[in-house]
Amino acid sequence: MDTDYIRSHIRTILDFPEEGIQFKDITPLLLDSKANELTLSALLEPFKTLSVDKIVGLESRGFLFGPSLAKDLRAGFVPARKKGKLPYKTTQKEYGLEYGQDVLEMHIDAIKPGENVVIHDDLLATGGTAKAATDLVLELGGKVIGYSFIIELSFLSGKNQLLEGIPIHYIIQY
Ligand code: AMP
């Protein structure tokens, strides 16, 4: 897998959206069809032989590859959104971010008890968002069978927030 090609299409923006944050911008990757294809195929790889019922994509950049990942795995796609965006009945979880505090919501009928769920986002930073998504999935009776990210910021140790013993996949690490 040519991860160098994917890495070369990720741009670091200093001090965005706040001073001290090195923002990993994946829009150059989205602009390039080969980078797009390589990314989707690397995201798919660990789950190809598994039975996945739902991909939970985290707002908002988890919505970019999440639906394609779901389609190729013959799974459903569940958007986990910030407070007040989902129209139907929701379950909610407050969580801390690398920058700020927020609330994540999921529709109460998005996951059925016993379903195999993969949580996906573009980037794992402190792990607060993925942890909140994990709690929502568990609350609805789902089983988290894996985590899927394009990027892991290893210096923020987000992995420590996620379910122990569940595989955490990422393509690029900083
Ligand atoms: P966290 O909850 O701290 O793991 O943050 C993960 C979420 O915030 C993801 O949805 C990312 O898109 C976004 N995020 C946090 N830090 C960064 C960063 N340095 N560059 C790009 N996105 C980030």
Is 38 inside a domain boundary? no
Q: What is the mean pLDDT of residues 132-156?
A: 98
Q: Is the pLDDT of residue 58 over 70?
A: yes
98 part of the active site:
yes
Residue 117 is encoded by which pair of tokens?
């769920």
Is 44 inside a domain boundary? no
Query: Can you give the pLDDT at residue 97?
Result: 72
DSSP string, 30-51: HH-HHHHHHHHHHHHGGGTTS-
Rounded to the nearest whole angstrom, what is the distance from the C-alpha of residue 164 to the centroid of ligand 1?
A: 21
Is 28 inside a domain boundary? no
| Confidence category of residue 99, pLDDT binned at 50, 70, 90 | low
Report which residue type is found at 102: D
Is 152 inside a domain boundary? yes
**Based on C-alpha coordinates, what's the Rg of the chain?**
15
- Locate the ligand 1 atom nearest the alpha carbon of residue 22 and give its number: 19
Q: Print the domain residue range for 153.
A: 50-173
Is 18 inside a domain boundary? no
Q: Do the beta carbons of residue 26 and residue 7 sit within 8 Å?
A: no
Query: Can you give the pLDDT at residue 96?
Result: 80
* Number of domains making up the chain: 1
Residue pLDDT, tens place only, 108-119: 999 999 999 999
Q: Residue 100 belongs to a domain with what CATH number? A: 3.40.50.2020
Is 25 inside a domain boundary? no
Q: Is the pLDDT of residue 11 over 90?
A: yes
- Which residue among 61, 105, 115, 152 is the active-site one? 61
